Amino acid sequence: MNAHDITDGVYAIHADIKTSARFEGIWPIPHGVTLNSYVVKGDKTALVDLAKDWSHSIDQFEAQLAAAGTSFETLDYVVLNHLEPDHTAFLTELRRRNPKVELIATAKGIALVRNFFKINENLREVKTGDTLELGAGKTLEFFETPNIHWPETMMTFDRANGILFSCDAFGSYGSLGDRVFDDEFTADEHAFYERESLRYYANIVASFSTFVTKALDKLKDLPVKTVAPSHGIVWRKNPGEIVARYARFAGYNTGSPCEKEICVIWGSMYGYTKQGLDAVIAGIEAEKVPYTIHQIPDTDASFVLADAYRASGLVLAMPTYEYKMFPPMAHILDLFERKHFTGKKVLRLGSWGWVGGAKKEYDEKIANFKWTSVESAEWQGAPTKEELALLKERGRELARLVKSE
């Protein structure tokens, strides 16, 4: 892969990560992910963000650094917008190869450099408004944007060229191959990356939507011509598209309307809950509300989170299991809580065998979720004809609620 010229003296480089290992040790990346960095060359040379040694990433970086006329050994500065190790784990080896390289981060970022990597020299703390002069007309300006995705996060701006190096913000899963710019991808490819950016957002960023909104407000007057994140596509033709997309995503759990659709999540031990769910789905279909459907635990939670995050409505179908909720659903609800999936319209249903219990645990779990619940439906064993009719009506009721938003 080549380095990609963004403008004179500014290059995008990236590693395509293709691995069966999970992102953050949790989230599957069957379509890969990229680790992006940016070379900014004046009289001095800075690398904005780094990588971890993962799936041949360092070999890929070395080749592209050489194509950009530099190397790990000769860099003057590395700007660390964010210290999560996907962008920094190579620091120890980098410092070994290049003892003079100066590392630049916020005060909280420098503390993490010290704590994670035991590096204590050639460190520079920066705050909002500070600049780094590289010479030859290249200046980098820093903006603290905490909690996108960790408290130490900042963004870096090349004001002369309008390039915003945004790190995790505006990022996505999905490897890129030899192309990196938004104008190099087809509409179908963009649709794919939009889905992967939603999954990335729901998995990684959703807990911090309030901070995304704050950062968007802070940056709104910057003359941004290119959005250069550290995962995924570099936006030089339509940077406003990814900014608007992130604003929409941030709104899903901070008070803006979600999409008028329903995400159905279900698990069934012996098919009785599924029988009831089929009636609910018939009700949803009768109201012509679009829905996605995921059986758990068969579908990984990463994908469930993506569809559930954007949907206004949720159907949660699970049996009672050992006096409590079906464990895979308890796991999903735990993730909803951690990721702040608020404001949903929800129908819960399920069967029980010798005794109930899911309802009690569920009601306690969602007490602070700020959800609007359609009256839940439970039944013993297989649902009767009357119960199926009721379940269909509950499905219609949820669908009408979603449509009315």
Binding footprint of ligand FEO on the chain (CB under 6 A) = 82, 84, 86-87, 149, 168, 230-231
Nearer to ligand FEO, 35 or 163 (CB): 35
- Which of 174, 282, 159, 285 is CA-nearest to residue 226? 159
Nearer to ligand FEO, 87 or 294 (CB): 87
Whole-number minimum distance, CB 383 to ligand FEO, in Å? 45
Nearer to ligand FEO, 230 or 302 (CB): 230
Q: Which residue has tokens 């098919």? A: 271
Give the nearest residue (CB) to ligand FEO: 84
Cis peptide before 223 (omega within 30 of 0): no
Tell me phi and psi for residue 213, to 5 degrees: -60, -45
Nearer to ligand FEO, 29 or 65 (CB): 29
Q: Which residues contact 315 (CB under 8 A, 6 or more apart)?
A: 262, 263, 264, 265, 266, 277, 280, 281, 284, 291, 346, 347, 348, 349, 395, 398
Whole-number minimum distance, CB 205 to ligand FEO, in Å? 8
Nearer to ligand FEO, 158 or 168 (CB): 168
Under 8 Å between Cβ of 227 and 239: yes
Nearer to ligand FEO, 131 or 210 (CB): 210
Alpha-carbon distance of 15 to 138, in angstroms, equals 25
Whole-number minimum distance, CB 401 to ligand FEO, in Å? 35
Alpha-carbon distance of 202 to 340, in angstroms, equals 10
Alpha-carbon distance of 183 to 196, in angstroms, equals 18
Whole-number minimum distance, CB 168 to ligand FEO, in Å? 4
Whole-number minimum distance, CB 50 to ligand FEO, in Å? 11
Whole-number minimum distance, CB 73 to ligand FEO, in Å? 25
